[in-house]
Structure 1
Amino acid sequence: MCGIAGLFLKNGRLEHDLGALLAAMTSTLCERGPDSAGFALYTNGADDGLKLTVTSNAATDFEKVAANLGRAIGATVTARVRDTHATLSLPADTAVQARAWLADQGVTVVSEGRRLEIFKEVGYPTEVARRFDIPSIGGTHAIAHTRMATESAVTTNGAHPFSTGRDQCLVHNGSLSNHASLRRELRRDGIRIETANDSEVAAGYLSRELRRGRSLGDALESSLSDLDGFFTFVVGTETGFGVLRDPIACKPAVMAETDDYVGFASEYRSLTCLPGIAQARLFEPKPATPYFWESRP
C-alpha cells in the first residue's frame, strides 16, 4: 500500500500555504499507510548556512545539544525544536565535523541541506502532521509519505522520506528486489545507508548518480535499468521535484498541473483540496517516463 503526496509550487503567493496544503493532501491517505508518516519540506535557507534536521530520544534537550555542538565545532549553532525533531542551523563548512559529533552523542541526522527539512515519526499520519505542526511551515515544494511497513521494522528511522544527499530526498511506493546487493555497492562508493529499508537504497542510488555529475532526469532514467522491482518514486532536490514509475506502473499515481502548482498523489481525492483543482490538467504519469519540474528563477 503506502501513500504519497507531493506539491511543487510555481506561484510564490502560495508558499505560505505549502505545509497546510500538504497536510490536507496527506490526511486522505491514512489508511494506505497508518503505521508512520514523514514530511520533507523545502523552506527558506541562508546562502552561507546549512540545516541539519535531527532526532533522538524523548529526553533529549536539543537546545543543550546545539550549545554543546557549537562549542565542539567552534561555531554558532541554533536549534528550532518540533516535537521529537530539531533543525540545527550552522555554517555549511562544519557539516562533516558536526555530523561526527552528533553521531557520538547518539543523535540521528534525518536530513542535511540548505533548504530541506524532514520530519518523520511512528504513528497515525494526521497525528504525526499535528505533532510537527506541518501546516505552519511554508516553502516552495514538499513531499509526504504514509507507510504500511512490509520489508522492515516500524521505526522513526524506517519511515519515509529518506535523504542520502544534501537537499535530496525520496519517497517510494513499491518494492525493490536487488536492494541488498545495491546497498553493498553504494556503501563501497561512500553513500551513507543506515537502515534495512529498500527505499533508502533507491535514495542512495540517486545521490550517487547526482554526485557523479548526472542530471536528476538522467539519474531517474538510469534507475529504470539498475533498480529491479516495482516502484513509484517522488523525489526532491533543492531546486526541483521529480516523479518516476517503473515500466509496469502497477502502483497508483495521479497528477494535477496548473499555472500555480504541480500536485502528485496516490489517489485523486488527495488533490481535491488544492486551489483551482477543477481547472487543473489531470493525468496519470506514464510508465518508465521521468517527470521533473524546476524552481522559478
Structure 2
Amino acid sequence: MRKLMFSLVATTMSMGLIFGSAPAKADVSSRNSAYQDIDERLKKMAQSAAWGGQEYRSHNIKDIELKGNLIDGSMVENSQVLTVSSDILENNLGHTVNMPSTGYEHEFEETTSTTNTSGWTFGYNYNASFSVLMVSASQSFSVEYNMSTSDTHEKKEKRKFTVPSIEVPVPAGKKYKVEYVFEKVKVSGKNKIDANLYGDVTYYYNNQPMSPQLLYSVQGLAADKQGFEQVIRDSAVGNDRFGIKTTGIGQFSTEFGTRLTRTLTDITDSRNPVKLETKNVPVEFKTLSTDTRVIK
C-alpha cells in the first residue's frame, strides 16, 4: 500500500438569497429537510441576538465560500494490478528477427462517489456544488460535492485505451514474453468542509426597518450561536471581509486508472526468467459513456 500526499483546491461560489419570515413562493414541502436546518439555524441565531424591542425579519446571504480539506488519517488507498495482454515471441531462426507484439484495446470503468455528511445543506433552487482537487506526486484527481442534498452522488465513466503493435528484436534461439500491466487505484477518505457565509440580517423596530447588521456582528451578539463561528477573509475589502462559518464532513471514494507498464522478459530458460526491460507506456484514454446517479 502506497502513501500519497495531497493538496486541495476548493471552489468559491457567490449567491444572493434572502430568507425571512415572509412565506416563500416555492413549495416548502419540496425543500430538502437538511437545507431547512441551516436556514433555521441562521434564523434562530439572529432571533437570539435581537434586543431592546428589535424584531428579526430576514437574513440575506450574499456570498458563500465552500472549502474542503482532507482529514488526516482518513485516507485509505488500494492498488489493483491487472495483466491485460501477454505475448510469447520465439525466434527459431539463426539470426535476430523483429517480431510484432499483438495490439489490443482495453475497456475499464472509473467510479467516483461523494456524500455530504455535514448535517447541513443548501437547497432552495440552488445547486451548491464544489470540487476538491487532490494532487499527488504521480497523479491528480478531483471529487465534487453537492451540498444541496445529503444523498450520495455517484459518477461512472466507461473508458478505453488502445495499444498498438510494436516490433521487438528477438535474438536467434531466444524466447521472449511481452506483458502489459494496467494499474488502477481506489482512494477513499473524508474531507472537512467549511461553509463560509457572508451577508446581513434585517431587524425591525416599531414596525420600521433598521440598518442591516452583518452576520459576523449578529453572531457576536447572539445568545444561541447555533454552532456558527466568526470568520474574516483576506480576499475582500470593507464589510465584505466579515462572515460566519459552519463546518461538517464529506466522504468520498474514487477509482481510476493510473498507468500502463510494458515488461519484456527472456524466458528461454523457463526455470530462470530474466527481466530485460520495464517501461511506462503513454496511453490516451477515451471516454465511451458517463452515467451519474443519486443513491438515497
Please give the TM-score of this superposition, normalised by the length of structure 2.
Answer: 0.22
Q: Which has the higher helix share?
A: 1
Specify the structure having the higher radius of gyration (Cα). Answer: 2
